[in-house]
Amino acid sequence: MSRVPGWIGRLGAGLTRMGDRLDERRAEVQRESADPSPASTPPPADTVPQPLERVLVTPARPDPALAVPWGVRVAAEAGWRLLVLAGTVWVLMRVISAVQLVVLAFVAALLMTALLQPTVARLRRVGVPQGLATALTAILGFVVMGLIGWFVTWQVMENIDNLSDQVQDGIDELRDWLLNSPFHVTDKQINDIAENLRDAVGANTDEITSAGLEGVTVIVEALTGILLAAFSTLFLLYDGKRIWEWSLRLVPAAARPGVAGAGPAAWRTLTAYVRGTVIVALIDAVFIGIGIYFLDVPMAVPLAVFIFLFSFIPLVGAVASGALAVVVALVTQGVFTAVMVLVVVLAVQQIEGHILQPFILGRAVQVHPLAVVLAVATGGLVAGIGGAVVAVPLVAVTNTVVGYLKRYAQESPRVLPDAEGPVHEGERGPE
């Protein structure tokens, strides 16, 4: 009997502790329901996804500029700038083609000024006034050019009858040589060629007449260009310094110091080119003229003058003038004389290319032969013979200006004191 109450008491104590733990657990659950944490806060009703909807998660898209490869971006940046430059050049060429006669006349005036200006400078150094020095130099230059033109015309007119007979004899001699040559040319083939030439001339009589009328217009334009070039040369010789200073005012102030230095450098290059070309052309004309004179080629002196004038077109002019001398020798003196003239022309041109031009022009005009050929071809396509003449000096001057501006951008310009204020070195243009 004594053990039963003890057992019942221990059971009741255990039940009491279990009830206390249940009460504590219930109280803890009630506290969590009264103060919920942010992690357990239910989302708003409007953001709760509907039972059958699918939530799409899109990644962030990069900047489109960053998505383009770097090489493509560089090509695009360079491309639109090249398009702007090409458009500018196209517009400039359209403007030049519209006033082609004026542009060629002014460029010719610049070339003549570069040739005559040293004479004006020498006269000024000995005390001759500017106006008188300009007048004397211009008159002397124009008289010399006029005498050369008159002499060539006189020689042609004096020898035209004799030349006609020599051409006929040369054609007969060439015909006999072809008949007896190893080329197996027959008399019938030669007659067919002559007949075709006569038919071509007869069929194109209207075109030839039209070309003659157009030739009259060309002569009028040439005379106008010559007068304009002479007039411009006078003003450039007399007032070149003030014209250059006025031109500098058209340049933005930020770029004016660089342009002021590039102008004299370009003028020195142009002067060196014109002087060197005149000396080389004169040597070519003298030596080739002496050679064809001793070979008894008719009109040796006019041919030498033509060689001198054509030598102002680099590479192409020498070939054309030499071919003219060879053709005249062929139709007047025969194949052997033509071959000897060709030998003389090639020998003089080799001496010119390897000795005269490097020695006379030196480092003043540094233009690659490929650039010379492309410049002459482009100038000839754009403006004919005049464009071919001015193409190479234009390329040489452009090369000098670009090189100077590149050096000027890399080096700080030296400033010279002046009475009117700071003036950058080289700001004074050609006098």
CA distances from residue 43 to 13, 46, 49, 54, 427 in whole angstroms, order as listed = 46, 8, 10, 17, 79
Q: What is the pLDDT of residue 244?
A: 87
Do 272 and 302 contact (CB within 8 A), yes or no?
no
Closest CA relative to residue 303, chosen from 286, 279, 316, 280: 286
Phi, psi of 43 (to 5 degrees): -65, 160
At position 245, the amino acid (one-letter code) is: E
Q: Of 119, 148, 134, 128, nearest to 231 (Cα)? A: 134
Rounded to an integer, what distance in angstroms lies between the CA atom of residue 235 and that of residue 254?
Answer: 29
pLDDT attached to residue 1: 45
Q: Which residue has the tokens 């106006």?
A: 131
Angle between helices 316-333 and 300-310 (to 10 degrees): 160
Query: In Å, how far are 70, 273, 312 from 282, measured between CA atoms?
Result: 56, 14, 10
CA distance 224 to 216: 13
Q: Which helix (H) or strand (E) holds 143?
A: helix 130-179
Q: Which residues of 125-156 are buried (b: 16+ CB within 10 A; e: fewer)?
A: eeebeeeebbbebbeebbeeeeeeeeebeebe
Contact 264, 429 (CB under 8 A): yes
Low-confidence ranges of the chain (pLDDT < 50): 1-2, 38-40, 45, 48, 52, 413, 415-431
Which pair of tokens denotes residue 137?
Answer: 């130099």
Task: Please report the pLDDT score of residue 104 as a whole number.
Answer: 83
2 DSSP 8-state letter = -
pLDDT score, position 153:
76
- pLDDT of res. 33: 62
Q: Tokens in use for 102?
A: 């004026």
Residue 297 and residue 291: Cα distance in Å, rounded?
9
Q: What is the pLDDT at residue 88? A: 92
- Ramachandran region of residue 362, left (φ > 0), alpha (ψ -120 to 50) or beta? left
